[in-house]
Amino acid sequence: MPRTTISVDHVARVEGHGNVHVVIEDGVVKDVKMEIVEPARMFESMVKGRSYKEASYISSRICGICSASHVITDLKAVEQAFGIEVSQRTSMVRELLVYGSYLQNHAAHLFVFATPDFINEASIFPLAKSNPDLFAKALELKGLGNRLCTAVGGRSIHPITAVAGGFTHEIGAAEYLAFADEMEAMVPFAQDVVDLFAGFRICDFQTQGDMLALVQPDYYPVQSSDTLRFFGDGVEEFATADAFDHISEYQVDHSGAFFAKRASNGKPYMTAALARINASWDHLGKTAKIASAKAGLRPPALNPMLNNVAQAVELVDALERCARICRELAKGEGSCTPAPVRPKAGVGVGVTEAPRGVVVHKLEFDDRGCVVKASITTPTAQNLANLECDIRLLAGMLAESGTSERIIRAEVEKLIRAYDPCISCSVH
Amino acid sequence: MMNSLRAPFGNDGHVCECAQHINSISGRMEIDPLGNYSYPLSGQELMAMNPYRPWSARITSITELTETEKLFEFRFIDERIRNAFRHKPGQFVEVSIFGVGEAPISISSSPTKEGFFELCVRRAGAFTQVLHEMQCGDIVGIRGPFGRGFPLDLMRGHDVLCVAGGLGIAPLRSLINNIHDERSSFKKVTIIYGSRTPSEVMFRDQFEMWRHRKDFDLYLTVDHPDDGWDGHVGLVTAPIPTLELNPNDTFGAICGPPVMYKFVVEEMRKRNISYDHIYMSFERHMKCGMGKCGHCQIGHQYCCVDGPVFNYWEAKNIQGSM
Amino acid sequence: MRSYECNRAANSSEVECLPTPRVVVIGLASCFGCQLQITNMEQHLMDVVGQFELVYWQLASSEPMPQEYDVAVIEGAVTTLESMETVRQLRQKAKTIITIGACANTAGIPGIAAAGFNGHSSEVYSQGVPNACGQVIAPRSVGSVIQVDYQVPCCPIDFYDFSAVLSRALYGSNRTVPNRTMCGDCKRNETQCFFEKGELCLGLVTKGGCGARCPKLGRPCFGCAGLSKDANLDAARDSVARYGIEVAEFESRLQLFNQTNEALCEGAKGEYHA
Amino acid sequence: MLYRVIDASEIPLLVNAFMESYEVVAPVETDQGVNFEVIDSPDEMKLDYISTVVSPKKYFLPPKEELFRFDAQANEVLPTCVEFPKRVIFGMHSCDINAMNRLDLVFKDCERPDPYYVGRREATLIVGVSCMPGENCFCRLWGADEARYGYDLFLTDIGGKYLVSMSSVEAANILERSCNPRVATDEERQAFRNQTRRRQQSFNADIPEIQEVALLMDAFHKDPFWEELGGRCLGCTACSAVCPSCFCFDIVDEMDPDGRCGSRVRLQDSCCSPDFAVVAGGHNFRPDGRTRVRHRMYHKLNGFLMTHDRMLCVGCGRCVTACKADINPIRVLEFFERKGLDNDE
């Protein structure tokens, strides 16, 4: 195998358009490029001059899959800039919305995108015939996420009801309770999903990059924390408001998305379900923790391929957590009615954990509440540099052991999909 | 939840009913697809059942008339309905192709022919496109007949002057064929039929035969003649001033594109045909056929029940008719 | 345009269908949300997919793009010379083109950047637009590049609207695509008007038929279905002013989904050169 | 007509009695204003409302209604059967009852009754309630401020008590079973008379009282006023959506997602919809706001009178609020009023 170029144009079963090129010479990886060819839509520039009322509506459209996360992140930035405190109930409903998107995303990613890799099919559709029960149950799980998002946000993607300071509409107690029951009933299947993915054979290697996740004392945060943590090569905790001081974005010619590195040490890093589990393992619910341990996933878990299992564990955790939140909300305490908004000049940074990692929106407003400057970074953009390093590592390892080009190619695609990249989101 | 949000409007969550008979005690309506009625069924009984329910009819013959027009022959599958179906010239039926929709089409065959009816259909939109692709033996749904047709009873014993433009020949053909089948009940019958080009002239053979047999005085006219054209050239109004006609004894019957009416009526009035002896068929999109849905309204009149055939006096009294 | 009509035979056992239509799904500049919406109605997904042969869908399958197909479903706005070429090729090969979602129909949210486009791209990419992005041009709707046969409106699309449009494309329908604006639907939902609360809503000029979901949930319309062909913009401006709302806000809000609509002229027209 | 008196405190008893065997809908106040909704308890009801956003016609002509199911592949109607709920509409105003009486003429007491409408109508009991006019009400102009028939019970508020007119046995039985209806005293009759007069005197005096509207509609058919009024129509159909007497509809086929079966569906429609009068081939018989708005006003203020001997408009005033372009019958009345003044000058 003197010189081989492995190229996959339009990596399938990922959200968005990406190509990968790996050049191997005499068993040594010479070059890896993760080309992000998604059309640029210039969100950071187009929101300039627009009212805060429109900002979250527009930035929701950065990504269909992560729309709930982008909306909540943007609203948090707006609220920080204007000094708005949201009610406890609003925060809980937001968490429900974010988790709804976790259920949608993880189920879609694991089954529609990832599973075909492990059953040697091009798509999920053959599974409808070969294993109709699994297919039906997987769709049911994803459907539950959709319905939760629809109930809370008004539709399954691009939530309608979430606005600065609260929600314009909320479902009744009976619906919350019905959801709680459904969530709990779905837990056993989610546990099976963890087992299923734990059983898939993956290459054994470890990422050399760092990791980034939201952290919160005694909680597994997805939108409720104001603290971020880098870990791996030294732990570094900082306020979400300072996110862009610690994350360094840079432009490369083969990608429409900006790449990112940890500012303090210049290393690439991973932000994903795997990073969350590593950071907040202690705060996973009991059922999820047991499922995770049983699957052999416990910190430090550094094989990026394990992100699939990590997502499955999060499914278990999300179901239980959502059921609890639903029961709490059904008690009807507090209100989600949007808090009054008084625009003023200022800067706000919103950070949440999107299904595939940390998303940051930084917005600067003038005194009329119009955007002066916007900076947005998405988990996939942050992951790209690390992904390239991991591909180099994996391909090198396989090439060294004389693996065929076909298998290297398949494993590289598997790795890319394990990161659950959201490419259109990364080029925004 | 998703469905309730989806419901296009409103929140009347009650799934709706399909109706045949109303049982006033339980407020329940039932439908039997074939109908559970005594035989034979009168036309009135046919309509007295759920008037929104189309009845299956089979296409039994298709004739290509021009590039864009076909003549379809239909027969109801249920014999009782086939026998009960009676129409008047100028009336229309609602044709259903389920999934595609429903469209009002005027009946082109004479009431004197029983057991089947014919529709002359121009390919003009999504519905007629699908209908044109159908084959003999295919099934459609039919409701009707609806509307007020030409006043045959009044016309009997008198002269009749029919003026048709383009597809307007479709409803008039029903009248003309009917007259032909009871030819002795009518006096002098004149037909003026205008088309854009010779290739768009429909039912030419039939007309030629009648002309040959001197059943009717026939004026076929086109706007753009070709080399083989031996008929007239020009507007349908052109022959009217020179016709031999007895104004007190003549009924006019007009059907054609909207712009035609004004001019034809003018010429007929010049010949002193009375306001209420000039009958014309209006084109509107009748959706229900029963004077409810409003789509075919002209002023305060409903084309589907008060028309589609109006006399000129009535039409003059409708705001916005011409 | 339609050519897959199932013969409606005398009895169902004789139903004989022409070869099932081959469908490709293509994503251009978008959030992928409309494609997701298709998958998001799990219980009906296989019903819909079962009516045709899905020969290319990058989001869900690694099967490569085939050479021949009948129907192309396009999501997203045209933002590069390359995608312009792509849609032209789709038009050449496909008998039927269906665009889904605001991006494809009106240039949608990406279209906001159409005004002063070059400024936007240099602002985001200070070192020049990366090669990977292709040759970027001011965003535009698919319909401004090629003739589109059917549109599924809104941002994101509704699954049932997609299913209905698909039915229309495959089997035909004489149902009118409404040009009425949205307020009537809102009233049928018994929603109180935002104007009465002094809040701007674009229902006045936006194509109806979406079921007015946003107002029903307490959020004014932002116009994602696009301007109605019969939108009465002048009368709407008067109405906005009558309710004490700044007309400038109305104009600005209209840009969200109608930036490149000729009815609002100016926009990015000056930069519309490929 | 039989009249009895009950105390206001007996109303909940009456409602509860209805609830035993009927679905009860009544005006309910929410953050969206007052609207007719199904209630579970008399406490949810707000009887002293001025107007609802939308009229209760939705219970007879739902915005969307399935007519029947079909099999598109065999091209046949499928057997379909669903129930009409037994329902009481509690708290309808006179204008809405009069509007429903007009709908009856079109859908029930006509040559071809509409079985869906008739089914709902016959399964429904109507309990009317008296009201005081709001600023947009002009029902009195068309004599629609009193309901002479079309209800089962009608409650007139005479201060802490209600004078009840009873018109159906079914409702009277329930009234007698649940309340203690008694014969009206002279004082109560007096109170009734005073209440009626107070209502009559409370109408907005700014709304011109023009009796010969129908004639004027004909006389001014070609007036430029229609361009001024109709030219600003937004084509949204909100007017018809809220109107208690608008009944135009569309009939469409909706396919199931699998493309095999589907439903024939009736949808509320409006003559103010831009494409309402389009025929196959694309010609639009009313292509602009001028002709559409004029047509609608004609049907409301002239056409229906010609065919059914009463105005279709009942003067409920809902369209005055609903139309964002300020198009409504009051503007038409004002136009005729101005014409009168012009002539005087």
Residue B48: pLDDT over 60: no
Residue C159 domain-assigned? yes
**Residue B215 shares a structural domain with residue B253:** yes
Distances (CA, A) of B319 to B300, D219, D295, D306, D311: 8, 11, 9, 12, 17
Q: Which chain B residue shows the shortest CA-CA distance from D258?
A: B99
pLDDT band at C263 (very low <50, low <70, confident <90, very high): confident
User: Residue B251 maps to which CATH number?
Assistant: 3.40.50.80
Per-residue confidence (pLDDT) for residue C157, from 0 to 100: 95
Q: How far is it, in rounded angstroms, from Cα D325 to Cα D333?
A: 16
pLDDT band at C71 (very low <50, low <70, confident <90, very high): very high
Percent of chain A clearing pLDDT 70 (strictly above): 100
Residue C274 domain-assigned? no
Residues 2-31 of chain B whose Cβ lies under 8 A from any Cβ of chain A: 2, 5
D170 has a chain B CB within 8 A of its CB: no
Q: Which chain B residue shows the shortest CA-CA distance from D260?
A: B99
Residue B11: pLDDT over 60: no
Per-residue confidence (pLDDT) for residue A237, from 0 to 100: 96
Per-residue confidence (pLDDT) for residue D345, from 0 to 100: 46
Task: Please report all neighbours of C, defined by 3+ CB atom pairs within 8 A.
Answer: A, B, D
Residue B296 domain-assigned? no
Q: How far is it, in rounded angstroms, from Cα D98 to Cα D102?
A: 6
DSSP, collapsed to helix, strand or coil, labels residue A148 as: helix
pLDDT, tens digit, 9 for 90 and up, residues A169-182: 999 999 999 999 99
Q: What is the mean pLDDT of residues A296-305?
A: 94
Residue A411 domain-assigned? no
Q: How many structural domains does chain A have?
A: 1
List % helix, strand, coil for chain C (3-state, nearest 5): 40, 15, 45
* Of C171, C200, C225, the domain-final residue: C171
**Residue D148 shares a structural domain with residue D229:** no
**Residue D25 shares a structural domain with residue D88:** yes
Q: How many structural domains does chain D have?
A: 2
Residue B307 domain-assigned? no
Residue D270 domain-assigned? yes
Task: Please report all neighbours of D, defined by 3+ CB atom pairs within 8 A.
Answer: B, C
Task: Print the domain residue range for D259.
Answer: 213-344
Per-residue confidence (pLDDT) for residue B229, from 0 to 100: 84
Residue C7 domain-assigned? no
Q: Which of A233-237, B43-47, B117-121, D299-303 has the lowest mean pLDDT?
A: B43-47
Per-residue confidence (pLDDT) for residue C14, from 0 to 100: 39
Residues 6+ apart with CB under 8 A from C46: A128
Q: What is the mean pLDDT of residues A282-292?
A: 95
Percent of chain B clearing pLDDT 90 (strictly above): 39
A-chain residues within 8 Å CB-CB of B5? 150, 154-155
Residues 45-74 of chain C whose Cβ lies under 8 A from any Cβ of chain D: 47-48, 50-51
- Give the nearest partner residue to A122 out of C46, C63, C110, using CB atoms: C63
CB contact under 8 A, D256 and C173: no
A-chain residues within 8 Å CB-CB of C111? none
Residue C142: pLDDT over 80: yes
Q: How far is it, in rounded angstroms, from Cα C255 to Cα C205?
A: 13
**Residue C70 shares a structural domain with residue C150:** yes
Per-residue confidence (pLDDT) for residue A210, from 0 to 100: 96
> C128: burial class by Cβ within 10 Å (0-12, 13-18, 19+)?
exposed
pLDDT, tens digit, 9 for 90 and up, residues A240-269: 999 999 999 999 999 989 999 999 999 999
pLDDT, tens digit, 9 for 90 and up, residues D42-101: 999 999 999 999 999 999 999 999 888 899 988 888 877 767 889 999 999 999 999 999
More confident residue, A71 or C16: A71
C136 has a chain A CB within 8 A of its CB: yes
Per-residue confidence (pLDDT) for residue D77, from 0 to 100: 85
Per-residue confidence (pLDDT) for residue C3, from 0 to 100: 34
Residue A268 domain-assigned? yes
**Residue C143 shares a structural domain with residue C254:** no
**Residue C45 shares a structural domain with residue C145:** yes
pLDDT band at B45 (very low <50, low <70, confident <90, very high): low
Q: What angle do CA D317, D319, D325 make, to 5 degrees?
A: 130
**Residue D141 shares a structural domain with residue D277:** no
pLDDT, tens digit, 9 for 90 and up, residues D224-277: 999 999 999 999 999 999 999 999 999 999 999 888 999 999 999 999 999 999
pLDDT, tens digit, 9 for 90 and up, residues B216-261: 888 889 999 888 888 888 888 888 888 888 888 999 999 998 888 8
B134 has a chain C CB within 8 A of its CB: yes
**Residue C111 shares a structural domain with residue C212:** no
Task: Look at residues C264, C257, C274 and name the one whose alpha carbon lies nearest to residue C113.
Answer: C257
Task: Print the domain residue range for B166.
Answer: 152-281
B3 has a chain D CB within 8 A of its CB: no
Q: How many structural domains does chain B have?
A: 2
CB C100 within 8 A of CB A161: no
CB B147 within 8 A of CB B302: no
pLDDT band at B212 (very low <50, low <70, confident <90, very high): confident
Q: What is the mean pLDDT of residues C87-103?
A: 95
Mutate to test the interface with C, among B6, B128, B139, B140 (most CBs of C within 10 A): B6
pLDDT, tens digit, 9 for 90 and up, residues A70-110: 999 999 999 999 999 999 999 999 999 999 999 999 999 99
**Residue D26 shares a structural domain with residue D108:** yes
Per-residue confidence (pLDDT) for residue C129, from 0 to 100: 87
**Residue D35 shares a structural domain with residue D124:** yes
Q: What angle do CA B107, B108, B111 make, to 5 degrees?
A: 75
**Residue C142 shares a structural domain with residue C236:** no
pLDDT, tens digit, 9 for 90 and up, residues C38-50: 888 777 888 888 8
Per-residue confidence (pLDDT) for residue A1, from 0 to 100: 52
Q: What is the mean pLDDT of residues B143-159?
A: 91
- Give the nearest partner residue to C10 out of B6, B129, B138, using CB atoms: B138
C-chain residues within 8 Å CB-CB of A168? 217-219
CB contact under 8 A, C187 and D238: yes
How many residues does this entry show for chain B? Answer: 322
Residue B234 domain-assigned? yes
Helix axes C159-171, C42-49, angle to 10 degrees: 10
Task: Print the domain residue range for A356.
Answer: 40-385
B-chain residues within 8 Å CB-CB of D255? 99
**Residue D177 shares a structural domain with residue D273:** no
**Residue C21 shares a structural domain with residue C136:** yes
Residue B87: pLDDT over 50: yes
Q: What is the mean pLDDT of residues C155-167?
A: 92
Per-residue confidence (pLDDT) for residue B16, from 0 to 100: 32
D73 has a chain C CB within 8 A of its CB: yes
Q: How many structural domains does chain C have?
A: 2
CB A362 within 8 A of CB A77: yes
**Residue C191 shares a structural domain with residue C166:** no
User: Residue B76 maps to which CATH number?
Assistant: 2.40.30.10
Per-residue confidence (pLDDT) for residue A118, from 0 to 100: 85
CB contact under 8 A, B305 and D65: no
> A112: burial class by Cβ within 10 Å (0-12, 13-18, 19+)?
buried
**Residue D197 shares a structural domain with residue D233:** no
- Give the nearest partner residue to D58 out of B10, B101, B141, using CB atoms: B10
Per-residue confidence (pLDDT) for residue D190, from 0 to 100: 93
Residues 6+ apart with CB under 8 A from D232: C232, C234, C235, C238, D289, D325, D326, D327
Per-residue confidence (pLDDT) for residue B320, from 0 to 100: 67
Mutate to test the interface with B, among A96, A149, A150 (most CBs of B within 10 A): A150
Count of B-C CB contacts under 8 Å = 65
Residue D20 domain-assigned? yes
Task: Please report all neighbours of A, defined by 3+ CB atom pairs within 8 A.
Answer: B, C
One-letter amino acid at A404 equals S
User: Residue C97 maps to which CATH number?
Assistant: 3.40.50.700
Would you put residue B137 in left (φ > 0), alpha (ψ -120 to 50) or beta?
left
Residue D332 domain-assigned? yes
CA dihedral A28, A29, A30, A36 (to 10 degrees): 170
Q: What is the mean pLDDT of residues D99-108?
A: 94
Q: How far is it, in rounded angstroms, from Cα C58 to Cα C75?
A: 12
Q: What is the mean pLDDT of residues C53-68?
A: 79
> ipTM, 2 decimals?
0.89
Residue A414 domain-assigned? no
B-chain residues within 8 Å CB-CB of D253? 98-102
**Residue B142 shares a structural domain with residue B213:** no
* Of C137, C171, C205, the domain-final residue: C171
Q: What is the mean pLDDT of residues B176-187?
A: 89
**Residue C209 shares a structural domain with residue C164:** no
pLDDT, tens digit, 9 for 90 and up, residues B108-132: 999 998 889 999 999 988 899 999 9
Per-residue confidence (pLDDT) for residue D237, from 0 to 100: 93
pLDDT, tens digit, 9 for 90 and up, residues A315-368: 999 999 999 999 999 999 999 999 999 999 999 999 999 999 999 999 999 999
Per-residue confidence (pLDDT) for residue C130, from 0 to 100: 87
Residue A390 domain-assigned? no
Please provide the average confidence, as pLDDT, over all residues in chain D: 91
Q: How far is it, in rounded angstroms, from Cα A75 to Cα A57?
A: 10
Per-residue confidence (pLDDT) for residue D263, from 0 to 100: 92
User: Residue A174 maps to which CATH number?
Assistant: 1.10.645.10
* Of D144, D174, D201, the domain-final residue: D201
Per-residue confidence (pLDDT) for residue D343, from 0 to 100: 56
pLDDT band at C151 (very low <50, low <70, confident <90, very high): very high
**Residue B142 shares a structural domain with residue B195:** no
Per-residue confidence (pLDDT) for residue B43, from 0 to 100: 54
**Residue C23 shares a structural domain with residue C85:** yes
Percent of chain B clearing pLDDT 70 (strictly above): 84
Task: Please report all neighbours of B, defined by 3+ CB atom pairs within 8 A.
Answer: A, C, D
Q: How far is it, in rounded angstroms, from Cα D251 to Cα D247?
A: 13
- Give the nearest partner residue to C187 out of D31, D54, D71, using CB atoms: D54
Please provide the average confidence, as pLDDT, over all residues in chain B: 82
Q: How far is it, in rounded angstroms, from Cα C21 to Cα C76?
A: 23
Interstrand relation of D261-268 and D64-71 (parallel, antiparallel or unpaired) = antiparallel
pLDDT, tens digit, 9 for 90 and up, residues A133-147: 888 899 899 999 999
C-chain residues within 8 Å CB-CB of D274? 179-180, 228-230
* Of B146, B164, B187, the domain-final residue: B146
DSSP structural state of residue C146? S
Per-residue confidence (pLDDT) for residue C272, from 0 to 100: 39
pLDDT, tens digit, 9 for 90 and up, residues A23-78: 998 888 999 999 998 888 889 998 999 999 999 999 999 998 899 999 999 999 99
Q: How far is it, in rounded angstroms, from Cα D63 to Cα B98?
A: 21
**Residue D187 shares a structural domain with residue D148:** yes
CB contact under 8 A, C181 and D252: no
Q: What is the mean pLDDT of residues B54-61?
A: 92
Per-residue confidence (pLDDT) for residue A176, from 0 to 100: 97
**Residue D19 shares a structural domain with residue D147:** yes
* Of C151, C171, C191, the domain-final residue: C171
B-chain residues within 8 Å CB-CB of A156? 2
Q: What is the mean pLDDT of residues D310-332?
A: 94
Residue B269 domain-assigned? yes
Residue D312 domain-assigned? yes
Per-residue confidence (pLDDT) for residue A91, from 0 to 100: 96
**Residue C71 shares a structural domain with residue C124:** yes
Residues 6+ apart with CB under 8 A from A79: A85, A86, A164, A165, A348, A350
Task: Print the domain residue range for C230.
Answer: 183-262
Residue B9: pLDDT over 50: no
According to DSSP, the residues that pair with A219 across neighbouring strands are A216
